[in-house]
Amino acid sequence: MKVSVAIALRERQEVVEVDLPEGSTARDAVDASGIRARFTGIDVDALGWGIWSRRCKPDARLRDGDRVEIYRPLAMDAKAMRRARIKPSSPRSRSGR
């Protein structure tokens, strides 16, 4: 079966296609892709993994055409960013009374 493995860091992104036997796992795909050798300064096992944008564990079984994704840590949580942009509200009600 054909599977792709994707990793996206700020300075570099890569997608690698691999052929695996049926019953392979996400870890098998990452191992076959050579991502660890290409990104030597990164502990791939410590990062989040997913299949088509859904979080998964390394032992998740794959199907033909799946895309295994390795997620970098977020600089800031999206909810925290939205909260930081909101202006403090006025103590007055919206009607002005």
Helix (H, G, I), strand (E, B) or coil at 97: coil
Distance in angstroms (rounded) separating the CA atoms of residues 69 and 13: 11
Torsion angle of alpha carbons 23, 27, 33, 38, nearest 10°?
180
pLDDT digits (tens, 9 = 90+) for 10-28: 888 899 999 999 999 999 9
Is residue 90 assigned to a domain? no
CATH of the domain at 69: 3.10.20.30
pTM of the model: 0.73
- In terms of residue numbers, what domain contains 41? 2-85
- Domain tally, the chain: 1
Is residue 95 assigned to a domain? no
How many angstroms from the chain centroid is the CA of residue 46?
12
Is residue 35 assigned to a domain? yes
pLDDT digits (tens, 9 = 90+) for 54-97: 999 999 999 999 999 999 876 767 787 788 888 666 566 566 55
Distance in angstroms (rounded) separating the CA atoms of residues 15 and 39: 13
Helix (H, G, I), strand (E, B) or coil at 3: strand
